[in-house]
Amino acid sequence: MPVYKAPLADMRFVLHQLYDSAVVTDLPGNAEFMPELIDSVLEEAAKFCEGVLFPLNQSGDLEGCTYENGVVRTPSGFKAAYNAFRDGGWTAMGADPEFGGQGLPIPAAMMIEEMLCAANVAFGLYPGLSHGAYVALNHAGSEVLKQTYLPNLVSGKWAGTMCLTEAHCGTDLGMLRTKAVPNDDGSYSITGSKIFISAGEQDLTENIIHLVLARLPDAPSGVKGISMFVVPKFMVRGDGSVGPRNALQCTAIEHKMGIKGSATCAMSFDGATGWLVGEPHKGLRAMFKMMNTERLSVGIQGLGVAEVAYQNAVTYARDRIQGRALTGVKAADKPADPIMVHPDVRRMLLTMRAYIEGCRALAGWVARELEILAKSTDDDAKQAADDFASLMTPIIKAMFTDLGFEIASLAVQVYGGHGYIRDHGIEQYVRDARIAMLYEGTNGIQALDLVGRKLPQDGGRLLTRFLDPVMEFIEVHENNDVLAPFLPPLQQAVEHVQIATGFIMENAMSNRDEIGAASVDYLRLFGLTALAFVWARMVAIAAPKAEADGGQFYRAKVQTAKFFMERLLPQTGALLAAIQSGSATMMEFEDSAF
């Protein structure tokens, strides 16, 4: 049976030591969120995730969701778990107190989200989509819409979805056909079909609030003609109670590779009543507020699945005995040594650990900036935070999910043949991790966003939000003996990013294909460099504490950082070489030869 324990020690390290939690506590409205309170919330979340959600993960995968005559039933135990989740106030943790939320700072909320994803990523999608709908409505909705829908979304009594994709258009939303016709009372009649709608129908909540992209009759073509509408499953009466059913239904659920406990629905809107959210033809802008939130959440999905896969790989490597160590017998009382002694197994485990802890640290940085953006009264600080979060969003989404899949696959490799069969539960993590590389914009699209939009924006201002603190750190610590092994590889990686950036920008002037050809490699190059920076920062904190009593946690930090710098970061050189090779080899290949 799989195991999972929330990595609370590392989460506390990131929140309180790596990024001084006082920075967050000092923001307006956060005075009560002292480290002691944050830690107690994390501990309670860990108990819920470990004790309630994690035991449902395998059974939910085996049973899956069922569909019959428009009704979707989630796996056994999900409804009771959701009720406990809602009653415990977890749906409200990151929402505005104005609507019944608890206002938990984003860095802590992100750590709890990781626990949810590690314990049961399919379950976590239900409240996750609802929070995304809350974010979009709170950002772009009228006061009437906010008061009508947000309190029940925040409480978890109602759920939310985002309805973008149609059978003929996924990434290219400019081709969507769903129509919105004005009614005399100010509402709209929504007609069309949507596919791949996570939680589009379920038995967990009494109402589902769909955010639907559609076109008005006078809409211009392409993405400039998309509007967003709120379309409830059941109409809401004037007193806030649930009324008659709206003209929409789930027509099928998908039979998927993974996340089988999450209902992925085909939805039909047949003149359903909806209300405009924000301005006409500006729906994509409003929806992107939700999508960017979801992209960060999807990145955390990758991190969560990676963490639980790693924990199980370590447990198996300690227990499984096969062969003898190359340097001689280690377990003389046993017929073979634990596979933990073999260099290749240790390589896999350290690879997993180095990526996971680096990603958690990087996510903590982004979360802190998002909290500053949300609550600071300093306009310059808010602008810097917005720039940095915008730059890092495609990296968090794409690199974290790529690594989540790679790490889940490595866990299977540690298990050998036993990892490939269902009994141990490890193959599920590979299947569950795979979707995160696809939804909320495929990782190739994230790479194009980074290189094609974020890098050139405002003359490269966003890039400086990353490079400036890195260069400042290197300069401040240039004489720090503790960091002597870590700064040169970090500096070289930064130079690789700068050279690659210059190459792409220069060559893209004459051939736009250079952006597409370089984008995926560039995103990984940038991401690895960002991980190198946060690892160097962690060493600066951990190394002075490594030799003290009880310093094993800090010694492991330094040792893992060394592994990352020596065994993983050198990829940046190869990635730079690939980028500099240009687009010719792929674009000049004859179409007919494929």
Q: What is the pLDDT of residues 214-257, one digit of tens each?
A: 999 999 999 899 999 999 999 999 999 999 999 999 999 999 99
Token representation of residue 135: 């974010």
Look at residue 423 and tell me if it is in a domain: no
The parent domain of residue 261 ranges over: 156-282
In this structure, the answer to whether residues 110 and 171 fall within a common structural domain is: no
Q: Please answer whether residues 277 and 141 qualify as being in contact, where contact means their C-beta atoms are separated by less than 8 angstroms.
A: yes
Structure tokens at 515: 């952006």
Q: Do 228 and 131 reside in the same domain of the chain?
A: no
Angstrom distance (rounded) from CA 490 to CA 561: 11
The number of angstroms, rounded, from the C-alpha of 505 to the middle of its chain's C-alpha atoms is 28
Could you say which of 224, 254, 282 is where a domain stops? 282
Nearest-angstrom CA–CA distance, 33 and 46: 18
The per-residue pLDDT for 313 is 98
Quick check: is 399 in a domain?
Answer: no
Interval 257-313: pLDDT, tens: 999 999 999 999 999 999 999 999 998 887 777 777 789 999 999 999 999 999 999
Tally of structural domains, the chain: 3
Of 140, 173, 202, the one marking the end of a domain is 140
**CB proximity list for 121: less than 8 A, separation 6 or greater:** 57, 259, 262, 301, 304, 305, 432
Residues 530-540 have a mean pLDDT of 98
pLDDT of 291 reads 75
Indicate whether 201 and 226 sit together in one domain.
yes
Residue 3 is encoded by which pair of tokens? 């195991």
Q: Do 84 and 118 fall within a single domain?
A: yes
Q: pLDDT value at position 171?
A: 80
CATH number of the domain bearing residue 57? 1.10.540.10
440, 478, 506, 514: which is the annotated catalytic residue? 440
Which pLDDT does position 525 carry in this prediction? 98
Which pLDDT value is given to residue 131? 94
Q: Decide if 564 is inside a domain.
A: yes
In this structure, the answer to whether residues 13 and 136 fall within a common structural domain is yes
15, 136: one domain? yes
Q: How far is CA 227 from CA 60, 268, 328, 478, in A?
A: 36, 18, 68, 52
| Residue 144 to residues 23, 246, 470, Cα–Cα distance (Å) | 34, 19, 45
Give the pLDDT mean for 421-438. Answer: 97
Same domain (yes/no): 80, 193? no
CA distance 547 to 293: 40
* pLDDT grade for 45, boundaries at 50, 70 and 90: very high
Distances from the Cα of 353 to the Cα of 223, 252, 349, 359, 556, angstroms: 41, 40, 6, 10, 10
Distance in angstroms between the alpha carbons of the first and the last residue of the chain: 44
Give the mean pLDDT of 533-542. 98
Tell me: do 578 and 509 sit in the same domain.
yes
Q: Is residue 591 part of a domain?
A: no
Cα separation of 283 and 70, whole Å? 28
Residue 189 has pLDDT above 90, yes or no: yes
Cross-strand partners of 230:
211, 275
CA–CA distance from 438 to each of 123, 299, 320, 445, 519 (Å)? 18, 11, 34, 9, 16
Element (H, E) at 152: helix 143-155
Q: What average pLDDT is seen over the chain? A: 96
Residue 223 shares a structural domain with residue 247 = yes
CATH number of domain containing 252:
2.40.110.20
pLDDT band at 449 (very low <50, low <70, confident <90, very high): very high
Is 132 contained in some domain? yes
What are 196-215's pLDDT values in tens digits? 999 999 999 999 999 999 99
Per-residue tokens: 582 = 């240009």
- Does an H or E element contain 267, and which? strand 264-277
Can you tell me which residue has the tokens 């179409």? 591
If pLDDT is split at 50, 70 and 90, which confidence band does 43 have? very high
Q: Give the CA radius of gyration of the chain.
A: 24
As a whole number of angstroms, the distance between CA 153 and CA 99 comes to 9
Is residue 549 very low, low, confident or very high in pLDDT (cuts 50, 70, 90)? confident
Decide: helix, strand or coil at residue 513: helix
Query: Quick one: average pLDDT of 468-472?
Result: 97
Q: Quick one: pLDDT band at residue 555, thresholds 50, 70, 90?
A: very high
What lies within 8 Å, CB to CB, of 296 at 6+ separation is 110, 366, 370, 393, 396, 397
| Domain annotation covers residue 71 | yes
Q: Tell me the percentage of the chain whose pLDDT exceeds 90.
A: 95
CA angle 103, 104, 106 (to 5 degrees): 110
Kindly state the average pLDDT of the residues 38-52: 98
440 is catalytic: yes
> Which of 227, 94, 201, 198 lies closest to 153, judged by CA?
94
Task: Tell me which amino acid residue 192 is.
Answer: G
Instruction: Tell me, yes or no, whether 588 lies in a domain.
Output: no
Q: Do 429 and 408 meet the contact criterion of CB atoms below 8 Å apart?
A: yes
Q: Answer left, alpha or beta for residue 273, where phi above 0 means left and psi between -120 and 50 means alpha.
A: beta
Same domain (yes/no): 38, 130? yes
SS3 383: helix
Beta-carbon contacts of 299 under 8 Å, excluding residues fewer than 6 positions away, are 363, 396, 397, 398, 399, 400, 401, 436
Query: pLDDT band for position 152 (50/70/90)?
Result: very high
Mean pLDDT of 108-121: 98
In whole angstroms, give the CA distance from residue 526 to residue 366: 15
Question: What pLDDT does 470 receive?
Answer: 98
For residue 212, give the H/E element and its range: strand 207-214
- In the prediction, which pLDDT does 288 show? 74
Two tokens at 316?
A: 């198996």
520/496 same-domain check: yes
Write the pLDDT tens digit of every residue in 475-527. 999 999 999 999 999 999 999 999 999 999 999 989 999 999 999 999 999 99
Q: Which of residues 248, 282, 316 is at a domain's end? A: 282
Cβ contacts of 513 within 8 Å, gap of 6 or more: 583, 587
38 and 111 fall within a common domain:
yes
Q: What is the rounded distance in angstroms from the CA atom of residue 407 to the CA atom of residue 348?
A: 9
On whether residue 446 sits in a domain, the answer given is: no
Residue with tokens 């495609």: 394
Of 32, 358, 194, which Cα lies nearest the Cα of 350? Answer: 358
